[in-house]
Amino acid sequence: MAYTTGIILFALAILISVSLHEFGHMLTAKAFGMKVTRYFVGFGPTLWSFRKGETEYGVKGIPLGGFVKIVGMTPLEEEEEEVTEKDRDRVFWRKPLWQRTVVLAAGSVTHFLLGFIALWILVSFVGVVANPAYAEAVEESEANARVTVAPCVVAVESDAPQGDCAEGQIEGPAYGAGIADGDAVTSVDGTAVTDWDSLLAAVGALTPNEPVEVVVENGGAERTVELTPYAAEVENEDGEVETVARLGVFVYTDPAIEPAMAVGPIDGIPETFSFTGDMFKETFIALGQLPSKIPPLWDAIMGGERGDDTPVSVVGASRLGGEMVQYEQWAMFFMLLVVLNYFIGIFNLLPLLPMDGGHIAIAWYERFRSWVAAKRGRPDPGRVDYLKLMPLTYAVIVLLGGFMLLTITADIVNPITIFN
């Protein structure tokens, strides 16, 4: 139940984020006196709407985003709306370039603000990773199958005593068997384990509620423990819920390397800026590496191992959010939302149609072209013909749609999981 709740909460958070993105466009457009005729959450058939002034507000049937209609963002849109002589100067493209740029960038700025505020709260009052060595430590722990142990887990119809766990939870098998944070699992029921992926495979082959022997190592000393995997519910590649074995462990993070220390609201401001700079840098690196991630995604769909560094869709991110809620990892839940908001904000500013960055690039290109024409004593060439750009726009849409379909498929048939 907690897993499903987490998925719903994460998907809802994304929908709210995208809706606020469009609200940012609308708010700035209205502030500059532009004519805004519609603001809707969702796409498809209208479920409910009302009109206030010249703007219709409402909710549509497919909750996969939202949109705002600003008259004159493109020549095509201006032709679709009835613009009176009184409203002639309120058309988007007639406004100063700086105002148009602000309106177009407002969606991404909204994502940046949401991410920054959430990150500031985490840094100030919860505590997050504060050492760049963290990424290297996680890679090392994955290579050695070192684990962090969950004291409590959510099991399927278990009659085991709850102990100090919350209602609906039981003591984690690994925790109860004496496995400690930082131990490296080297064998599960006779199957050798060398990294996190092989640990996932070995545990996936177990039968819930049947005792097994697990060999762990720490500091060069090995020991064997006996534990009974619990039964957990997960979604399979067909989207159906099935019961699988779990030990109650996840990827190890050394608290000495990853001090989760709250720094307070004042010190949290520069820390948040520092984290934001690092995240922006990593986002640009990730964008540059996207083409190289396509073959691993295809291999994962075809049955190969799913790398933890492969891209995820909204489906995959929501599933990860569900896991985080299930194991009460709320800091990780909100950090994932921060990363997602920063990524969407940056991605949306790429100078390609139909993203906002594409419209910004065209607006500045029009201004530059007019300036060059004036310098040469030639007539103003006017606005860019969007119809000529439609083939390129459709090509971008097809590429993005194909990549989205690829990631969604991988997230369904071979999802990334952080808890085992």
Task: Take residue 67 and report the two structure tokens written for it.
Answer: 């949109």
Predicted pLDDT of residue 237: 61
For 198-242, the pLDDT digits (tens) are 888 888 888 888 999 999 988 778 899 999 998 887 766 666 778
For 273-330, the pLDDT digits (tens) are 988 998 999 889 888 888 888 888 888 888 887 877 788 888 888 888 888 888 778 8
The yes-or-no verdict on residue 140 having pLDDT over 80 is no
**Fold (topology level) of 136-251:** Pdz3 Domain (2.30.42)
Is residue 22 annotated as a catalytic residue, yes or no?
yes
pLDDT bin (cut points 50, 70, 90) of residue 135 is very low
Contacts by 102-106, CB closer than 8 A, 24 or more apart? 102/28, 102/32, 103/25, 103/28, 103/29, 103/32, 103/34, 103/70, 104/25, 104/356, 104/359, 104/360, 104/363, 105/349, 105/356, 105/360, 106/24, 106/25, 106/27, 106/28
The yes-or-no verdict on residue 134 having pLDDT over 50 is no
Helices (H), ranges, 32-96: 75-80
pLDDT bin (cut points 50, 70, 90) of residue 40 is very high
Residue 227 pairs in a beta bridge with 212
Are 196 and 306 within 8 A, CB to CB? Answer: no
Q: Which of 114-118, 166-170, 264-268, 274-278 is most confident?
A: 114-118
Please list the residue range(s) of the chain that carry CATH number 2.30.42.10.
136-251
Mean pLDDT, the chain, rounded, equals 84
How far apart are the C-alpha atoms of 109 and 102, rounded to whole Å? Answer: 9
94 C-beta neighbours (distance < 10 Å), count: 12
Catalytic site residue from 22, 171, 323, 366: 22
Task: Give the SS3 label for residue 71.
Answer: coil
pLDDT bin (cut points 50, 70, 90) of residue 130 is very low
**How would DSSP label each residue in 316-373?**
HHHHHHHHHHHTT-HHHHHHHHHHHHHHHHHHTTSS-TTSHHHHHHHHHHHHHHHHHH
Contact partners, residue 142, CB within 8 Å, separation at least 6: 195, 196, 197, 251, 308
How far apart are the C-alpha atoms of 111 and 346, rounded to whole Å? Answer: 9
How far apart are the C-alpha atoms of 338 and 415, rounded to whole Å? Answer: 21
